[in-house]
Amino acid sequence: MSKADVDASDFKGALSKQESANDKGWKLDHIGEVGLKSRLRIQDMNIDLLKRHFCKLMSPSNMVLVPTVLKGLGDMPIFLHVIKTAPKKIGA
């Protein structure tokens, strides 16, 4: 960021300095596809499409944590099928 951007920013922390799931031995995978499948520049994309994409990308119900020692598990169709079809238990 430029000095002007830094001066104008409310958040000045560096996310790279924060602990992450990866640091703790976990990898975040998405259950449903989250790719935009577009070569358009983001500023040329439809804003409603981008809003829907952001909601899908950031939705906790579309995320699963997988131990990094099992990296790749979150991309396996059978694993994703089990996650998608498992009974939902609230408060369990």
Residue 58: which of 36, 34, 77 has the closest Cα?
Answer: 34
What pLDDT is attached to residue 73?
93
Which residue do the tokens 């040329």 mark? 44
pLDDT at position 92, please? Answer: 56
Closest CA to 26 of 60, 61, 70, 76: 70
Determine the Cα–Cα distance for residues 22 and 64; give it in Å rounded to an integer: 13
In angstroms, the CA 75 to CA 16 distance is 25
Tens-binned pLDDT, residue by residue, of the chain (92 aa): 788 888 888 876 666 677 888 999 999 999 998 999 899 998 999 999 999 999 999 999 999 999 999 989 999 999 999 988 988 776 65
Domain limits, the chain = 36-85
Return the pLDDT at 10.
Answer: 81
pLDDT of residue 68: 94
pLDDT of residue 91: 65
pLDDT for 63 equals: 93
